[in-house]
């Protein structure tokens, strides 16, 4: 079942998967290149280094971002995006690893983005993820990447959709996005994904936490992982009770509850089946299109606001903003009128 026995094995990230039988070997310059057509061309040919470079540019909010987005646009919009979230240590990476295996067995190309919302460090690689994901390190049909939100205007919510596009452009049919369920990150991942899995474990008070954090709103599938531990039945019951209370009517999706022991590969097929079922429901109810358009709208808005903010920032060096500020501070005008004047100048 392991995909690592496929032909075209390589050292992780060194040599890409082959293209029509011709191995594509990335050369040094790819690592620092901003040559977008070259990078996108290579990524499409399965060059793992070009994929990595494109994601680095995206992650850093590089000025090449618009060109990257434009070059990738024709190849995007088809991949299935699945988010996994939940408390630290609940088993997200283990489950992701197992799902990758199951998806590879079905012949899918798979991308994994492990999002670390807290790491300020370059690359954001979570050591544990790296270790656990080694199973797939030599599989040319799998791309795995950790990302942090370092220094990016708009943070991960802005960078992650672009990184998903890079993986789609590289031929991934399915992209799994893992993020720790803290703060805004889980809401962001839910707005990015077609299907969101929320992982819980017995005895962590997770079920109660889940309600508090409004997780019921974002979960399409609940996975009660570590079902080998005491209290799994109670956790399943709690979640089912919550779902019953929060029932949103007959036309709505009813979140599925699945048990798993990811560390023993148990329940993975059930998780995959729940994802398929949700996908079918989305398509049947035209919800997939609606979700994706809502996601695109949010993205356009975020980019437009970012551009606006940058242009306002550039006015700080000009005369308009400091002059308006002086007037508002002196009480000769009010901040609303001053803001209108600023916007008028921006659009003029």
Ligand X SMILES: Nc1nc2c(ncn2[C@@H]2O[C@H](COP(=O)(O)OP(=O)(O)OP(=O)(O)O)[C@@H](O)[C@H]2O)c(=O)[nH]1
8 Å CB contact between 140 and 35? no
Candidates 213, 173, 222, 225; CA nearest to 195 is 222
Of positions 90, 115, 177, 274, contacts ligand X by CB under 6 A: 90
Q: Is 128 in the site for ligand X (CB under 6 A)?
A: yes
Of positions 56, 94, 191, 235, contacts ligand X by CB under 6 A: 94
Candidates 107, 50, 339, 94; CA nearest to 223 is 94
Of 130 and 254, which CB lies nearer to Mg ion in the complex structure? 130
CA distance 244 to 105: 35
Out of ligand X, Mg ion, none, what residue 136 binds, judged by CB under 5 to 8 A for its kind, is none
Out of Mg ion, ligand X, none, what residue 163 binds, judged by CB under 5 to 8 A for its kind, is none
Among the candidate windows 13-21, 91-99, 228-236, 339-347, which touches Mg ion by CB under 5 A? 91-99
DSSP state of 261: B
Of positions 46, 61, 83, 91, contacts ligand X by CB under 6 A: 91
φ/ψ bin of 331: left (φ > 0), alpha (ψ from -120 to 50), beta (otherwise):
left
Q: Which 11-70 residues touch ligand X, going by CB under 6 A?
A: none
Q: Is 263 in the site for ligand X (CB under 6 A)?
A: yes
70 CB contacts (<8 Å, ≥6 apart)?
Answer: none
Q: Which 173-212 residues touch ligand X, going by CB under 6 A?
A: 180
Of 30 and 103, which CB lies nearer to ligand X in the complex structure? 103
8 Å CB contact between 84 and 96? yes
Q: Which 221-240 residues touch ligand X, going by CB under 6 A?
A: 225-226, 228-229
CA distance 131 to 148: 18
State the residues that interact with ligand X by CB under 6 A. 86, 88-94, 126, 128, 180, 225-226, 228-229, 261-263
State the residues that interact with Mg ion by CB under 5 A. 92-93
């Amino acid at each position: 079942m392991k995909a690592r026995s496929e032909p075209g094995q390589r050292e992780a990230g060194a040599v890409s998967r082959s293209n029509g039988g011709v191995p594509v070997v990335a050369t040094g310059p790819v690592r620092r290149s901003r040559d977008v057509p070259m990078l996108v061309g290579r990524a499409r040919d399965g060059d793992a280094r070009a994929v990595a470079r494109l994601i680095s540019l995206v992650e850093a909010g590089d000025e090449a971002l618009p060109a990257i987005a434009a070059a990738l646009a024709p190849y995007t919009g088809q991949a299935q995006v699945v988010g996994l979230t939940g408390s630290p240590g609940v088993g997200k990476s283990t489950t992701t690893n197992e799902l990758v295996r199951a998806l590879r067995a079905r012949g899918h190309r798979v991308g994994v983005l492990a999002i670390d919302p807290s790491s300020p460090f370059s690359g954001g690689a979570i050591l544990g993820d790296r270790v656990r994901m080694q199973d797939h390190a030599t599989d040319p049909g799998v791309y795995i990447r950790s990302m942090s939100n370092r220094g990016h205007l708009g943070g991960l919510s802005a960078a992650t959709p672009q990184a998903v596009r890079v993986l789609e452009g590289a031929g991934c049919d399915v992209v799994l996005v893992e993020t720790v369920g803290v703060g805004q990150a889980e809401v962001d991942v839910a707005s990015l994904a077609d299907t969101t899995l929320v992982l819980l474990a017995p005895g962590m008070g997770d079920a109660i936490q889940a309600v508090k954090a409004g997780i019921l709103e974002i979960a399409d599938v609940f996975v009660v992982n570590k079902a080998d531990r005491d209290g799994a039945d109670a956790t399943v019951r709690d979640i089912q009770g919550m779902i019953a209370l929060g029932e949103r009517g007959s036309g709505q999706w009813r979140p599925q509850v699945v048990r798993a022991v990811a560390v023993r590969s148990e329940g993975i097929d059930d998780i995959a089946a729940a994802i398929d079922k949700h996908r079918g429901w989305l398509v049947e109810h035209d919800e997939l299109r609606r979700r994706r358009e809502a996601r695109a709208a949010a993205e356009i808005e975020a980019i437009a606001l970012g551009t606006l903010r940058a242009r306002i920032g550039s006015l700080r060096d000009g005369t308009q903003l400091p002059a308006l500020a002086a007037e508002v501070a002196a009480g000769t005008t009010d901040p609303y009128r001053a803001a209108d004047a600023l916007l008028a100048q921006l659009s003029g």
